[in-house]
């Protein structure tokens, strides 16, 4: 008999009960939430795939580390443990701790962007682009075309299109840095190849443009490089991660993902002068330079999580393996999803699923609500609502990708939970023609997807 099964490299020591609701309860809950899954109460959710952000289960070592946190206002021992962990694992010398990823994005944008600047990036992320625009800059998308095509099976859909980047460099605008995201979230958790990282860094360096990684999901990117890129088959995840970071001048990280903690983040830099500028803003917006936005215990658990995420390759293999398990089950039912299956979630192509709905009727928002109604599984819209309005003319940005994201928390759910999710997606798919479009009843000005409310059309 062939033996190909594998299982998670951990066992469960503590459990948290979750409740299965009735269909009537879910109908009432989603209506009350204005058809926005962000506005549901978690108690009304059965399996929560809203996000992989801050939802991971910590290890016994991390819970132990919490007890060792040094809560000194200045010079906390836990801060120095964090500095050591970031230096050892990512290879950056200068650490600016923040309360979460967007705190780091804020500071980076403020120290590098001047009004009128253009910041190229491999697809936008909501908070990243917000901070670039807030600092007076304009985001320019330089990701390869395949990233916008859900069915394209390009192995590195996160790659930078070097021709698009060159055209921008040859243009009239000042470019302070390239914002380079690993395992691109909005593209469906799609990786950048090492070759592309290397070539992009070379091109930027010759033009005096810094490369700033969004290394939030760099470990998942490292895994795909190991699986897909020639020459890396036997290289460890830890080594691949170090090499990824070597092609950059710094990074912002939301520690709520790869780093296996529930809150935290950092800006890491190589240039001490730039780090000094960042620290000057840090003390105004986040906290003193030896804690930023975190408590001592947060920093201690984070330092432990950073080492744990690369201590064995089995961790990330099981993490991405679970996503692939769910994705393959959904794919087998004929449901259109972003391919290849991503690192942190399964992204359903809502435009192809609800072909009877125009994009202005918010198909992904409606599909996420329909899945919740069916089973209490909570996903998230990643389409026209998330894309927001163009600041220049106020029109809806119409992204090519209109997706529902089913995002997997790390080390939280079992394969049986994944089976329940897949069956629910299948049931909604069978009944897709009955899903109605939505219209706004409340639309916030900024990052509208978080708090917008809708009604059925
Ligand atoms: N960069 C990426 C690629 C992210 O996915 C996120 C957050 C951030 C930056 C911001 O970090 O939340 O710690 O302030 N993504 C979450 C998500 C919200 O659900 O995808 P944060």
* pLDDT band (50, 70, 90) for residue 75: very high
362 flagged as catalytic: no
440 flagged as catalytic: no
Query: Whose CA is closest to atom 2 on ligand 1?
Result: 216
Q: CA–CA separation, 32 vs 69, rounded Å?
A: 40
Write down the catalytic residue from 46, 79, 92, 125. Answer: 125
Q: CA–CA separation, 291 vs 127, rounded Å?
A: 22
* pLDDT band (50, 70, 90) for residue 290: very high
Nearest atom within ligand 1 for CA of residue 102: 14
Question: Residues 141-186: pLDDT tens digits?
Answer: 999 999 999 999 999 999 999 999 999 999 999 999 999 999 999 9
Ligand 1 cavity residues, CB under 6 Å: 51, 53, 100-102, 125, 127-128, 181, 185, 214, 216, 254, 256, 265
Distance 52 CA to ligand 1 centre (A): 9
Distance 110 CA to ligand 1 centre (A): 18
Q: Ligand 1 pocket test: which of 181, 214, 216 has the largest number of ligand atoms within 8 Å of its C-beta?
A: 216
* Ramachandran category for residue 155: left, alpha or beta (phi over 0 → left; psi -120 to 50 → alpha): alpha
Distance 101 CA to ligand 1 centre (A): 6
Q: Reply yes or no on whether the pLDDT at 55 is more than 90.
A: yes
The DSSP element (H or E) to which 242 belongs, if any, is helix 237-246
Q: Reply yes or no on whether the pLDDT at 57 is more than 90.
A: yes
Query: How confident is the model at residue 1, as a pLDDT?
Result: 79
Write down the catalytic residue from 10, 73, 442, 450. Answer: 73
Q: Reply yes or no on whether the pLDDT at 3 is more than 90.
A: no
Query: How confident is the model at residue 274, as a pLDDT?
Result: 98
90 flagged as catalytic: no
Query: How confident is the model at residue 441, as a pLDDT?
Result: 97
Question: Residues 390-448: pLDDT tens digits?
Answer: 988 999 999 999 999 999 999 999 999 999 999 999 999 999 999 999 999 999 998 99
Q: CA–CA separation, 216 vs 37, rounded Å?
A: 23
Q: What is the mean pLDDT of residues 94-98?
A: 98
Write down the catalytic residue from 26, 129, 157, 257. Answer: 257
Q: Which domains, and CATH codes, for the chain?
A: 23-52+313-456 (3.90.1150.10), 60-308 (3.40.640.10)
285 flagged as catalytic: no
What percentage of the chain has pLDDT greater than the value 70?
Answer: 100
Nearest atom within ligand 1 for CA of residue 264: 13
Q: What is the overall mean pLDDT for the chain?
A: 97
Question: Residues 346-399: pLDDT tens digits?
Answer: 999 999 999 999 999 999 999 999 999 999 999 999 999 999 999 889 999 999
Q: What is the mean pLDDT of residues 330-346?
A: 97
Question: Residues 179-216: pLDDT tens digits?
Answer: 999 999 999 999 999 999 999 999 999 999 999 999 99
User: Any bridge partners for residue 389, and if so which?
Assistant: 396
Give the start-end residues of each E strand in 99-249: 118-121, 138-141, 177-181, 210-214
Q: What is the mean pLDDT of residues 282-302?
A: 97
Q: CA–CA separation, 452 vs 35, rounded Å?
A: 9
Q: Give CA torsion, residues 251, 252, 256, 257, to 10 deg.
A: -50
| Distances in whole angstroms, Cα of residue 416 to Cα of each of 7, 38, 423 | 13, 25, 11
Distance 185 CA to ligand 1 centre (A): 8
* pLDDT band (50, 70, 90) for residue 26: very high
Distance 71 CA to ligand 1 centre (A): 26
Other C-beta atoms closer than 10 Å to the C-beta of 250 total 26
Query: Whose CA is closest to atom 12 on ligand 1?
Result: 101
* Ramachandran category for residue 208: left, alpha or beta (phi over 0 → left; psi -120 to 50 → alpha): left
Distance 356 CA to ligand 1 centre (A): 31
Distance 54 CA to ligand 1 centre (A): 9
Question: Residues 116-133: pLDDT tens digits?
Answer: 999 999 999 999 999 999
Write down the catalytic residue from 46, 139, 449, 454. Answer: 449
* pLDDT band (50, 70, 90) for residue 83: very high
pTM equals 0.96
Query: Which positions ≥6 away from 144 have C-beta within 8 Å?
Result: 154, 157, 159, 160, 161
Query: How confident is the model at residue 203, as a pLDDT?
Result: 98
198 flagged as catalytic: no
Query: Whose CA is closest to atom 21 on ligand 1?
Result: 101
73 flagged as catalytic: yes
449 flagged as catalytic: yes
Question: Residues 235-268: pLDDT tens digits?
Answer: 999 999 999 999 999 999 999 999 999 999 999 9
């Amino acid at each position: 008999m062939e033996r190909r099964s594998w299982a998670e490299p951990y066992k469960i020591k503590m459990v948290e009960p979750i409740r299965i609701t009735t269909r009537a309860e879910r109908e009432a809950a989603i209506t009350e939430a204005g058809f926005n899954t962000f506005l549901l109460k978690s108690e009304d959710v059965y399996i929560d795939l809203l996000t992989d952000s801050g939802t991971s289960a910590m290890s016994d070592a991390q819970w132990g580390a919490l007890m060792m946190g040094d809560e000194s206002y200045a010079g906390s021992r836990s801060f120095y443990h964090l500095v050591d962990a970031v230096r050892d694992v990512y290879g950056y010398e200068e650490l600016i701790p923040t309360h979460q990823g967007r705190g780091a994005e804020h500071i980076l944008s403020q120290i590098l962007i001047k009004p009128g600047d253009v910041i190229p990036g491999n697809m936008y992320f909501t908070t990243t682009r917000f901070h670039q625009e807030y600092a007076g800059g304009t985001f320019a998308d330089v990701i390869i075309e395949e990233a916008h095509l859900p069915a394209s099976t390009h192995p590195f859909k996160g790659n930078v299109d070097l021709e698009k980047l060159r055209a921008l460099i040859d243009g009239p605008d000042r470019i302070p840095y390239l914002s380079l995201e690993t395992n691109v979230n909005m593209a469906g958790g799609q990786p950048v190849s090492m070759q592309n990282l290397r070539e992009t860094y070379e091109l930027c360096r010759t033009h005096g443009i810094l490369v700033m990684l969004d290394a939030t999901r760099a470990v998942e990117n490292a895994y795909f490089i190991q699986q897909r890129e020639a020459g890396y088959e036997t290289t460890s995840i830890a080594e691949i991660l170090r090499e990824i970071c070597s092609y950059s001048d710094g990074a912002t990280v939301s520690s709520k993902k790869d780093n296996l903690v529930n809150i935290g983040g950092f800006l890491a830099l190589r240039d001490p002068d730039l780090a000094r500028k960042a620290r000057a803003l840090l003390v105004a917006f986040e906290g003193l330079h030896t804690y930023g936005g975190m408590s001592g215990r947060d920093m201690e658990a984070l330092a432990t999580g950073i080492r744990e995420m690369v201590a064995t390759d089995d961790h990330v293999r099981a993490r991405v393996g679970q996503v692939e398990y769910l994705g393959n089950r959904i794919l087998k039912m004929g449901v259109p999803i972003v391919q290849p299956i991503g690192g942190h979630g399964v992204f359903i192509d809502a435009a192809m699923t609800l072909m009877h709905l125009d994009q202005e009727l918010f198909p992904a928002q409606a599909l996420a609500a329909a899945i919740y109604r069916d089973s209490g599984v909570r996903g998230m819209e990643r389409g026209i609502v998330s894309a927001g309005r163009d600041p220049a003319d106020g029109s809806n940005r119409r992204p090519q990708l209109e997706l529902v994201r089913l995002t997997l928390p790390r080390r939280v759910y079992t394969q049986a939970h994944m089976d329940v999710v897949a069956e629910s997606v299948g049931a909604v798919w069978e009944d897709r023609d009955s899903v109605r479009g939505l219209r706004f009843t409340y639309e916030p000005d900024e990052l509208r997807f978080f708090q917008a409310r809708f009604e059925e059309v």
